[in-house]
Chains A and B, each alone.
Chain A
Amino acid sequence: DQQVKQNSPSLSVQEGRISILNCDYTNSMFDYFLWYKKYPAEGPTFLISISSIKDKNEDGRFTVFLNKSAKHLSLHIVPSQPGDSAVYFCAASNTGKLIFGQGTTLQVKP
């Protein structure tokens, strides 16, 4: 039972444009959502999070949007930079367990 899904395995974007990564979840009890970024041979690094009581959180070039009725969240990166090329994981939590999606590989082309 995949509670957190990232349906796009990969995304390619031109430098300077917007990158939009999507994530869907099935458990309406999740109260906390996060995005992690992962480079090869490294552990995931925390990017941005959002509480279920909010619909938007912004941090510099990164904005996370949450649509609770659709059980959908998205990460917007603007402008995209070549250094943003990595695997992005969304994750969700409720009673103490962090559940990860399968990841989306973002490639930002110069």
Chain B
Amino acid sequence: GEEVAQTPKHLVRGEGQKAKLYCAPIKGHSYVFWYQQVLKNEFKFLISFQNENVFDETGMPKERFSAKCLPNSPCSLEIQATKLEDSAVYFCASSPKGYALNSPLHFGNGTRLTVT
């Protein structure tokens, strides 16, 4: 499609439960990025993919967060054993060429995760 599609829009989980977020990038875009926005503050980079390969995962909390981009499937971000501090809006973005000047990121509308 022509838009980055993120599902679900809202997700509520009890502390300790698993959360799984999905992202369908724009068709033809080979780079996918995940960002976390807490309390409307700046966006924290989590991880990026080039096709199904991890490109940069320096922002990922190693212990409970994982992500995948498999062929012919939406990309996913999974949080095991959620904590209150994981409450945030998670944005997915895609681009055709990574961080090139003429290839800006196209963002989805985000998934709002609330951990209670």
Contacts and interface: CB of A to CB of B under 8 A. Distances in A.
The DSSP consensus for interface residues of chain A is strand
A44 B58 contact: no
Interface residues on A, range: 20 to 34
Nearest to A99: B45
Interface residues of B, number: 25
A59 interface: no
A43 B4 contact: yes
The DSSP consensus for interface residues of chain B is loop
Interface in A30-60: 32, 34, 36, 41-46, 49, 51
A89 interface: yes
Interface stretch (B11-19, B74-82, B93-101): B93-101
A36 B104 CA distance: 10
Instruction: Please provide the 4 A-B residue pairs with the shortest distance between their CB atoms, ordered closest to farther.
Output: A43-B107, A46-B104, A100-B43, A102-B42
Interface of A: 2, 4, 32, 34, 36, 41-46, 49, 51, 87, 89, 93, 96-103
